[in-house]
Structure 1
Amino acid sequence: MRAIVPRLLAASLLIACTAHATDGPPPTPRHDVSDTLAGTRVNDPYRWLENPDAPGVTQWIDAQNAYTEATIGKMPLAKDLSARIRELAITSTTRSSPTLAGGTLFYFENTPPQPQPVLVAKAWPDGPVRTLVDLNQGDGNTAITEYWPSPSGRYLAYGTAEGGSELTTIHVLDTTTGKPLPDQLAWAGGGTTPQALAWDADEKGVTYARFATPTRDTPLREFDAYLAHHALGQPQSKDTVVFGKGYSDIAEYILHTGNGGKTTALLANEGDGGPAEVFLRSGDGPFRKVLGHDADVRSAEWVGDRLFVVTFAGAPRGKLVAFDAKGTRSDVLPEGDGAIQHVTALGDGFLVVRSAGPDWWADQYDGKAGFVRRVPLPRTGIVIGGVAAEKGQAKALITYTGWTVPTHWAEYDGDTGSLKTVFEVKPAADYSKVRVTRIDGTSKDGTRIPVTVISMDGVTPNGRRPTILYSYGGFDIPVTPSFIGPNLAWIERGGVLAYANLRGGNEYGEAWHAQGQKTHKQNVFDDFYAASQALIDHRWTDTRHLGILGGSNGGLLMGASLVQHPQQFRAVVAMVGIYDLPRHETAFANGPYNRSEYGSVNDPAIAKAMLAYSPLYNVKPGTAYPAVLLTTGANDPRVAPWQSRKFAAALQSATTSGYPVLLLTRMNAGHGIGAPFSQRVGNAALSMTFFATELGLGQ
């Protein structure tokens, strides 16, 4: 259930809504349903809402949408904030996800308000830009999910998915002519199982991840993914299995090709958030395991003719080991300062990107793993994204962004140490007066929790600033210094934004992640409370002006935080969140994939921990809960939309505060992956309008 990105980025549909608000939310019937979990009887009166096709559920969803739209539509700043957010989102052309292959640079390019990015290519570094794939002719709800150039760059495989579903079909085109090949590979992962693809060295076929083909009698089963080989020009029915049959019902794969496609590395995971096993394959031979789960591997990359693997076994911040094509292991780099995030080849050496909390940097090493220099990037306030390089070349393309720094691409010369900006996004406003401040919170067990506070120059702590605190806290995913972009609409009106680095992410390495997993999950909620209290202790805000925001696993964080500390927060926005942990595992396809992060309800200790923090089971009738806005997508493959339905119903029934509890379900949307421009901007306007009204922005 990997994360959605922290965006306060749909409100045109809300502003134009003609529905009439009622005095309260639509009533929700309760039905007697119960289970026994960890020896405890658990009531589940809203289980009937799990089935969207059941009698009454569609009407209930429609009524909730109408109530939410009417309530938001009456909020005084809705129109102004929506217009300002859209204005700030229309920057110059943006670029993302660069990859070099055969001297050609491939990347995504998007010119707002274009619904979806287009996939382009250019001879590196100064060739003309050629558009390869543009899916903007339709309604904007078809997205490119991923792409994979062949070793020479002549061919390009790319995936597409519809309406936020993430279920991928892979297509292939000839980049020299721009013409598509007839090959279309359906059921190629997405959502529960990420896509994966590796080209053959002769570029006549690909190995890719897929589900079994559904039939009339056997519906699509998003489990038991395997790797198949496809020969270009042949029907998909002739594809052969090369790995994965019987490996794991919740298998996930990452493929990396080395030596021009002659050698393939496979990182195989059992679900999200856990360590990978590492396999190597030469040519079309079998995959041979070289590292097991005990090595605690999180990533790998080819450097020259060796596979560099990041292992956290005995090294909480990570160390590097290498394997040649025969599987012979050698040690490369011991644990150092900062957690290793990723590695990229450079000349006869390599670059290592590291982090420590919200700080990121990149170090260069030579072919003998000797330290050369730190790349001269800004020392603080940025996150390093993709690094594109080709074997043997001394130059790399480094992408980075920061709180007040829109996307930059820089050419780094490993021979001279020079760094030259070759592309930067021109924002739609002046961010030079935005100020970034660091404070710390102290969690329940004494752990220090970094909090980044963002405000306009002259906006100082006065104990009552309308403040939005964001975090995530799970699945090894860090909270990073991403460009605030349209969120300027909040701080330019005197509001404050804050971002907390909680356990469960990997900002400080794998130990930081592990301390927020399974039976340790409560640490994440304690960390978040500590971050919120730090904002109050440093007099940025108080409980009447503090709002919290999160999505996906961060939605779980929101749910747990509001039921554990209902008086700490005035408003909560939770997007596509999990609120019923036991049912997430047992009644939804993606749930078992999350066992490596949350644990299994079949383990009594895990079940007991889940009952203690699972938001739905800790809603207490007669409690004054804060104002709450829940959003979900009907096509979400990562978190069931019924999670939000059940939680909304429980909160609406229980709260005595008089503050609204709202639920919005988007019918042609998913988890947020591949959402079109209008939906992204609308999400921001919806959240910000809600927070502005409830927290008193500008008053």
Structure 2
Amino acid sequence: MIYPKALKGNQTDTYFETSVADPFRDLENDSEATKKWVDEEVDFSQNYLSKIPFREKIKDQLRDIWNYEKIGAPFKEGDYTYFYKNNGLQAQSVLYRTNLKTKNIEVFLDPNQFSEKGTTSLSQLSFNKKGNLAAYSISEGGSDWNKIIIIDAITKKQIDETLVDVKFSGISWQGDEGFYYSSYDKPKEGTVLSGMTDKHKVYFHKLGTKQSEDKLIFGGEKTPRRYLGADVSEDQRYLIISAANATNGNELYIKDLQKGGDFIQINKGFDINASIVDTEGDELYIFTDKDAPNMRLVKANIKNPSPENWKDVIPQTDNVLGISSGGGYFFATYMVDAIDQVKQYDKAGKLIREITLPGKGNVGGFGGKEKEKELYFSFTNYITPGTIYKFNVETGKSEVYQKPKVKFNPDDYVSEQVFYTSKDGTKVPMMINYKKGTKLNGKNPTILYSYGGFNISLQPAFSVVNAVWMNNGGIYAVPNIRGGGEYGKKWHDAGTKMQKKNVFDDFIAAGEYLQSKGYTSKEYMALSGRSNGGLLVGATMTMRPDLAKVAFPGVGVLDMLRYNKFTAGAGWSYDYGTAEDSKEMFEYLKSYSPVHNVKSGTCYPSTMIITSDHDDRVVPAHSFKFGAELQEKQGCKNPILLRIEKNAGHGAGRSTEQVIGENADLISFALHEMGVKL
């Protein structure tokens, strides 16, 4: 294959007296040479993919199953009930509302009108307590940099100037005066998509005033933190600030808005995770992992809220706890081998009931305002499309609220959980999903997908993409590897820093298990993951190029020596460590960093690296440099493609057509490289 030629230089960096070459450094810059190379790579990939005979057939299959009405759980604000709906193939879901008195239904916000191609999406939406004012943020082209638009919720007309340069922010109203939001100083011209963002700031925007007059509430030079979130409690009494320097561990601050005064710091340092999930008068309900790696719910009093005074409401158990509140109750979701169980408690921590669920799977919801008597929850697993249920908090009765009409029959499929042994003897669970009647003869196209980081748990969820994959004879397997949150803090920490290779070992062992049991073989296996999962695939394919036929590193963190130099990357150091920490940490990172471990003449899997030109979370330079290394050094005929989405970001807010296009390419490339004909 004659690949596009990337501009090559002689850049080297020195870490602890070790010189490291970085020949494709220019691909970090938005130079004319980089733009030209990107255009050539886009053309090269599209030319290759266009020759796959069944590519359009796969796209049609995806559109066909995707084309069903999707309705979200309703929520009340003021005199209206709001709900999201997508007719089927709309680029973005539309927000409707029903007038509680007249029962009239109307469109409230239609993000499809925000831009011509449906690439501007709705990020956040927040109403004031009365429900007569609203503010919503939009993302253009998938960027993490948002704008906030403020409207009269009754007339739907804009009532204030648009706020700009907002990033990683919630919107939390204080009465009718205005709201709190978070942002960073905008990087210098030309570095908006890659410049470091490390000093988050919380501002208060008072309605009717200019953004330039917004008051700094917390953060900036005096209290530099990378991630700040501000929330006003439902009773409007407290302003709560969560302040963190990494993706794990945070400080908690609270201010009594009724009594005034300064912030009270609840806990110091970043050794624990803590969040206030509810308040009742002077009582604060805090969800935390302090002295509880599997999480617990505690109670504190505003007069003396420091950790030594916390009292258990729902204590830690052997299973990881998630918490939500609504209708005057707490709902505890316990994760047992990645499968959910739910219990309802009162505010004193007394068990009211265990909630009967429709099956084994993943539950979301059970959140709502204090006075609501009906809450909603969703249930899904790998072979059950997401269904929404209405739940009565007093009787405990559930009923189906919205069941999607998907062209998919769960009875035709199998979803089984197995446990396999990793390299160091650790037992790891894995869900394996396929069509009934599949013969375990080693010839089934198989996608092995995982994540393994940041305390994120991969729980069963239905996907149209996986439905099409399984319908074409594919197996979809998801191991719950270390680095995730499936078994609490210990499981997460076992996949961080100097133990990060446990994550790759778990993933490799999952592939070997599937091959040894006849589900698939090397020639029919594809490795897949996104973001931190892109790192997982990049590291696995460079450590074990013989494991699989195909690899899909998606929007991946692939240069482990420089990831902390871009956008919010420095905040990921809890999981990764940095090359500047110590010689030992540098050498460990370099030993698995995908960009630095591509060897000339090695036969790597057929690879489609997936990224977007506007990804300002994991900058595309990671993918560009990895792709250039692989294309230059590939030792066999397996193709190395860079699939670069234009006008898109890290993944959120993409139009339906963009998502269908990417996944049609992924499925058809995998099957084509495996020699499967449709």
TM-score of the superposed pair, with normalisation by structure 1: 0.90
Say yes or no: does 1:73 pair with 2:54: no
Which amino acid in structure 1 is aligned with residue 581 of structure 2? D
2:35 to 44, 58, 64: 58
Say yes or no: does 1:615 pair with 2:594: yes
Say yes or no: does 1:340 pair with 2:306: no
Change (3 A) 1:327 1:462: farther
What are the equivalent positions in structure 2 for 1:655-694 lying under 5 Å apart? 655-694=634-673
* Number of matched pairs: 666
> Equivalents in 2 of 1:291, 1:489: separation in Å?
48
CA contact (8 A) 2:326 2:366 kept: no
For residue 25 of structure 1, give the secondary structure of its aligned residue in structure 2: coil
Moved more, 651-660 or 540-549: 651-660
Partner of 2:445: 466
> Equivalents in 2 of 1:644, 1:524: separation in Å?
20
> Equivalents in 2 of 1:125, 1:309: separation in Å?
37
1:496 to 475, 481, 489: 475
Say yes or no: does 1:222 pair with 2:201: no
Kindly state the Cα deviation for residue 101 of structure 1 after the two structures are TM-superposed. 4.3
Change (3 A) 1:478 1:214: closer
Change (3 A) 1:187 1:145: same
CA contact (8 A) 1:625 1:659 kept: yes
1:156 to 134, 137, 144: 134
> Equivalents in 2 of 1:597, 1:103: separation in Å?
45
Partner of 2:11: 33
Kindly state the Cα deviation for residue 483 of structure 1 after the two structures are TM-superposed. 0.7
Kindly state the Cα deviation for residue 223 of structure 1 after the two structures are TM-superposed. 3.1
What are the equivalent positions in structure 2 for 1:121-270 lying under 5 Å apart? 121-122=97-98, 127-137=103-113, 138-189=116-167, 194-200=168-174, 202-212=175-185, 222-246=197-221, 249-270=224-245
Kindly state the Cα deviation for residue 102 of structure 1 after the two structures are TM-superposed. 4.8
> Equivalents in 2 of 1:296, 1:603: separation in Å?
21
Segments of structure 1 that go 5 or more residues without pairing to the other structure are: 1-22
Say yes or no: does 1:452 pair with 2:425: no
Moved more, 528-537 or 387-396: 387-396
> Equivalents in 1 of 2:592, 2:189: separation in Å?
41
> Equivalents in 1 of 2:572, 2:491: separation in Å?
18
> Equivalents in 2 of 1:257, 1:122: separation in Å?
26
Which amino acid in structure 2 is aligned with residue 351 of structure 1? F
1:561 to 540, 546, 549: 540
> Equivalents in 2 of 1:686, 1:598: separation in Å?
31
CA contact (8 A) 1:454 1:496 kept: yes
> Equivalents in 1 of 2:264, 2:338: separation in Å?
38
> Equivalents in 2 of 1:612, 1:543: separation in Å?
24
1:287 to 263, 282, 293: 263
Moved more, 235-244 or 118-127: 118-127
> Equivalents in 2 of 1:126, 1:362: separation in Å?
36
Change (3 A) 1:441 1:267: same
Say yes or no: does 1:88 pair with 2:61: no
For residue 600 of structure 2, give the secondary structure of its aligned residue in structure 1: coil
Kindly state the Cα deviation for residue 341 of structure 1 after the two structures are TM-superposed. 2.5
Change (3 A) 1:126 1:246: farther
> Equivalents in 2 of 1:214, 1:53: separation in Å?
17
Which amino acid in structure 2 is aligned with residue 470 of structure 1? Y
Q: Point out which structure has higher relative CO (alpha carbons under 8 A, 6+ apart).
A: 1
Say yes or no: does 1:353 pair with 2:333: yes
1:208-242 Cα shifts (integer Å, max 9, x gaps) = 11223679899887331211111111111221111
Change (3 A) 1:627 1:616: same
Change (3 A) 1:107 1:256: farther
Which amino acid in structure 2 is aligned with residue 277 of structure 1? E
1:46-94 Cα shifts (integer Å, max 9, x gaps) = 112221214x222211221111111111112211111111111111133
1:593-637 Cα shifts (integer Å, max 9, x gaps) = 222221222111321221111111111111111100001111111
1:100-153 Cα shifts (integer Å, max 9, x gaps) = 445754443222211112233346799554422112123211111111121222
CA contact (8 A) 1:86 1:486 kept: no
> Equivalents in 2 of 1:373, 1:132: separation in Å?
37
Moved more, 23-32 or 233-242: 23-32
TM-score of the superposed pair, with normalisation by structure 2: 0.93
Kindly state the Cα deviation for residue 679 of structure 1 after the two structures are TM-superposed. 0.4
For residue 35 of structure 1, give the secondary structure of its aligned residue in structure 2: strand
Change (3 A) 1:460 1:414: farther
Over the residues paired in the alignment, what is the CA RMSD in angstroms? 2.3
For residue 406 of structure 1, give the secondary structure of its aligned residue in structure 2: strand
For residue 616 of structure 1, give the secondary structure of its aligned residue in structure 2: helix
Segments of structure 2 that go 5 or more residues without pairing to the other structure are: none
What are the equivalent positions in structure 2 for 1:371-520 lying under 5 Å apart? 371-380=351-360, 382-520=361-499
Percentage identity across paired residues of the two chains? 28
1:447-467 Cα shifts (integer Å, max 9, x gaps) = 111111111111131122110
Partner of 1:548: 527
Say yes or no: does 1:312 pair with 2:289: yes
For residue 691 of structure 1, give the secondary structure of its aligned residue in structure 2: helix
Moved more, 217-226 or 639-648: 217-226
1:42 to 20, 27, 45: 20
Kindly state the Cα deviation for residue 442 of structure 1 after the two structures are TM-superposed. 1.2
For residue 415 of structure 2, give the secondary structure of its aligned residue in structure 1: strand
Kindly state the Cα deviation for residue 407 of structure 1 after the two structures are TM-superposed. 2.3
